[in-house]
Structure 1
Amino acid sequence: MMYVTNRSIRFFSSLFLVGAVALSGCAVDTGESDDASQVEMTTQALHGSSIGPQLIGAWQDSDRAFPTLQLDADGSYALDTGIRCIRTPCPSGESGVWFLYRAGAQYYVSLLSDAYDVSWYRVRLEHGAPTNLVGAFGTSGTFSKAKTFCVEFQTTDETGTPYPSFFAQNVKTYEEGSAILAPIAPYLINEAIREGTCVDQPQICTRQYAPVCGQVFTDPEETYGNLCELKVAVRGRAGVDGFAKSRWIDGACAAPTAPF
């Protein structure tokens, strides 16, 4: 009950601040109009529009590795400045709740910290998808949607004979993916570093039936129509921020035997 009360206080505090901004008409020139006095700002439910769900995830400074901003689906956020200290207190970041507002055709993200500090960002869209969060109403800085890369590879033995195994892993940078592949480079085949999460990689396979008996991690063995379908399953297990591996043998899995 206390959590709900505190969250309500934060919510109405944020609404009050919206009204204050609208009355004052103050704005920082960010290259586009941020004049909230011309149109009423209204709260936009996180899952009530196509924009809200697209904002969920990691954002990073457009020019540097830090600060980073994580917007979560439960309405909370975490800001990491990248500062690390031996002694405390250390201004390494902040956390709180975030809200999505709309003023006409323009969307804004408001960050309400646990200390009741408020930051404002205008959502820049391209083809209906958010690409940048640009500081507005006195807030400086610009965040860009953080990129993710999927590293995929198979390995071989010393003679170049491929092992029946496949790996998929999400990384934050292309360089991080290269660092994973470098130590095993002499024993790699079908390696790739592609932009986007592993689960978002192409999922299209041919209908050719060339069954393999595959196993993802230590899950029960399963028959896949072909090797491509097994790789799709591995990418799915790696998801958006994880790692997955598999092995297989050619042919369909043997029917399980009845217990003794």
Structure 2
Amino acid sequence: MTDPYVSFNIKNKVGYIEFFHPNHNAMPSEVLQKLQHTIVDAETSDAKVLVLKSGGDRTFCAGASFNELIAINNEATGKTFFSGFANVINAMRKSSKLIIGRVQGKAVGGGVGLAAATDYCLATKYASIKLSELSIGIGPFVIEPAVTRKIGVSKMSQMTLNAEAFYTAEWAKTNGLFAEICETTEALDETVTLLAEKLADYNPEALQEMKKVIWKNTDDWDNLLTERAKISGKLVLSDFTKETLKRFK
């Protein structure tokens, strides 16, 4: 696989949304837009439950595209760039369908945000997580509400301030991000499929009402995440961040 894509397939009433980028599943704006639209479009599909997954065997998602990050030269472009993950998280939040996360490998930055925005997340033992944004002069402002909602302010702060450290999948499970840990990708796929197909046979009205309960008190996220995107869009133009990003050219 060399070309980025977002795909959607339905099997046994389960809708599988898969994204891929050859650079460790880092997400440029174009892929994020396609992912957002796919989640929104799945609302009118025959799928009863959704699964969010990424292609490849290793990294689940390396976060935002650094190539695009480096190219930002004004606040408006910065806000648009950082709104990418905001739009995906809000699409997941507002979907009436339960979304199961399938995390086969490492998740960094925005990748942690995607995992946190699922309703039930399963992972392999290789799925360590990191919030690295502060180390390059910005912060996980857009994804913070989703992450904090799952693991709490204390653990989110710990990850954010210890920005160069990976936290193990077991740590993520202990602190509420992952519900289950599997030994292999094959075992993960079996567990995800079993759970998703079981849920797809439950009362759809009950599932929709449960989704509302899970996301209670998040109605302000459209505005909140947009404001957070503006903060990051401004910080990415700072001298500190520009100097730091030169290392990645």
Measured against the shorter chain, the TM-score band is: under 0.3
User: TM-score, normalization: structure 2?
Assistant: 0.20
User: TM-score, normalization: structure 1?
Assistant: 0.20
Point out which structure has higher relative CO (alpha carbons under 8 A, 6+ apart).
Answer: 2
Query: Larger Cα Rg: Structure 1 or Structure 2?
Result: 1
Normalized per residue, the structure richer in strand is: 1
